[in-house]
Amino acid sequence: MTPSPRLRVLTGINTTGTPHLGNYVGAIRPTVRASRQPDTESFLFLADYHSLIKCQDPERVQRSTLEIAASWLAAGLDPEHVTFYRQSDIPEIPQLTWLLTCVTGKGLLNRAHAYKAATDQNQAAGAEPDDGVTAGLFMYPVLMAADILMFKAHKVPVGRDQAQHLEMARDIAASFNHLYGDLLILPEAQIDDHVALLPGLDGRKMSKSYNNVIPLFGPARELRKQIMGIVTDSRAPGEPKDTEGSALYAIYRAFAEDDEAAAFAQAFADGISWADAKQQLCDRIEQEIGPMRERYDHLMAHPAEIEALLLAGAQKARAIATPYIGTLRQAVGLRPVDATPKRDKKAGPARTGLPSFKQYREKDGLFYFKLTSPDGTVLLQSKGFESPRDAGRVVKQLQTEGSSALAELENNLDALESQRQEVEKALEQLRMVAEA
């Protein structure tokens, strides 16, 4: 018996742009930390199919994928512990995308924020609403739903801006399940509103769109130059300075332990010069980022190492995706024409209520229990037990451990399905040989 299924956490990383300190503090560092938790199973992938929506420069697509992968690995992502892969290495994802596309209302996609923003902008400019809008942008939420549903993720850590996409993934999964049976897991968004929002060079939120970012893995002297350029007020050395509203202090805070931050605040009160404060900030960031930069530079110089890691990650991911897409294809009717349709226990009208256990005594004097669905179908029939307590104990066990047992059965089903497909293929080949 395998241990009970762990919480499965999955998130995608856009492969556009070069990561900056804000991305590191707000996304990379917390995600890498969370991925080390023993009770979770982490899936992290490079959303390179998504990047094609925004970027149609092939060299840049490739370069960004490399840079982002190197950044996450350098920041401590452990591919032994996390399933780390590139979206486009998983052919099952676009397959699932199509299955989902066919159960997704077009109206649902019309309401997506990103699409609506594009059409609103066009309308404001007096253009046709769909001017310059690709079907890729329109379909973005379906591809994202496939990313998530393909791996039966329970939790999806994302920024607040992605909350709507998660709602859509749930809606799409529910539509599919309604038609074909409970095959997809409805994911939950995990939105952390407490992640540090780093100010940029000008004190506004650090963001590419404000052009105020400090790149995560530039050369050390570049980092120094950038930090020296952070906007401060005109207070002279010796004058007490406010930590409140100081971008310098806020960035320091995001890197420092509590006692270090307290000491830094005291130095502000004691009138540290801005130049010295910047020097201290520089040293503190460098202490954390410096060793990572070495690893980053190494990886960037050896892209084959990254490629190998990504392919190994894809293999791990596909061990799940391949059998599962088989089950889903089977469910929607994409099956060999001569296959006997599987009795579809799961599909059909939505069931209402929950199955329940009933205990009783038979004429043979033994004690039994059965699990029946609300419509009276017997789902499970026990053997006879000597005492009602023995039967009761097994019922308890089923009630408490049933979900993990079920999950295991599901995994077995998926594996069997892929074996069935293999056997069918072999049979097909044998038939061809026999006919020749």
Binding residues vs ligand TRP (CB under 6 A): 10-12, 14, 47, 50, 144, 147-148, 156, 158, 162
Q: Which is nearer to ligand TRP, 50 or 170 (CB)?
A: 50
Q: Least CB distance from residue 173 to ligand TRP, whole Å?
A: 13
Q: Which is nearer to ligand TRP, 30 or 392 (CB)?
A: 30
The full length of the chain comes to: 436
Q: Least CB distance from residue 209 to ligand TRP, whole Å?
A: 14
Q: Least CB distance from residue 293 to ligand TRP, whole Å?
A: 25
Q: Which residues pair with 83 in a beta bridge?
A: 43
Question: Following DSSP, what letter does each residue of 278-301 receive, concatenated?
Answer: HHHHHHHHHHHHHHHHHHHHHHHH
For 60, 244, 380, 382, 399, the CA distances from 395, given in Å and listed in that order, are 58, 60, 11, 10, 6
Euclidean distance between CA atoms 328 and 318, whole angstroms: 15
Q: Which is nearer to ligand TRP, 158 or 391 (CB)?
A: 158
Euclidean distance between CA atoms 144 and 151, whole angstroms: 12
Euclidean distance between CA atoms 26 and 252, whole angstroms: 14
Q: Which is nearer to ligand TRP, 48 or 417 (CB)?
A: 48
Q: Which is nearer to ligand TRP, 160 or 225 (CB)?
A: 160
Q: Least CB distance from residue 211 to ligand TRP, whole Å?
A: 20
Closest CB to ligand TRP: residue number: 12
Q: Least CB distance from residue 301 to ligand TRP, whole Å?
A: 28
Euclidean distance between CA atoms 89 and 150, whole angstroms: 13
List, edge to edge, every strand of the sheet that includes 7-14.
Answer: 83-86, 40-47, 7-14, 155-157, 188-190
**CB neighbour list of residue 126: distance below 8 Å, 6 or more residues apart:** none
Q: Least CB distance from residue 144 to ligand TRP, whole Å?
A: 4
Nearest to 14 by CA among 61, 73, 79: 61
Q: Least CB distance from residue 157 to ligand TRP, whole Å?
A: 8
Q: Which is nearer to ligand TRP, 69 or 148 (CB)?
A: 148
Tokens 């044998």 belong to 430
Q: Which is nearer to ligand TRP, 189 or 328 (CB)?
A: 189
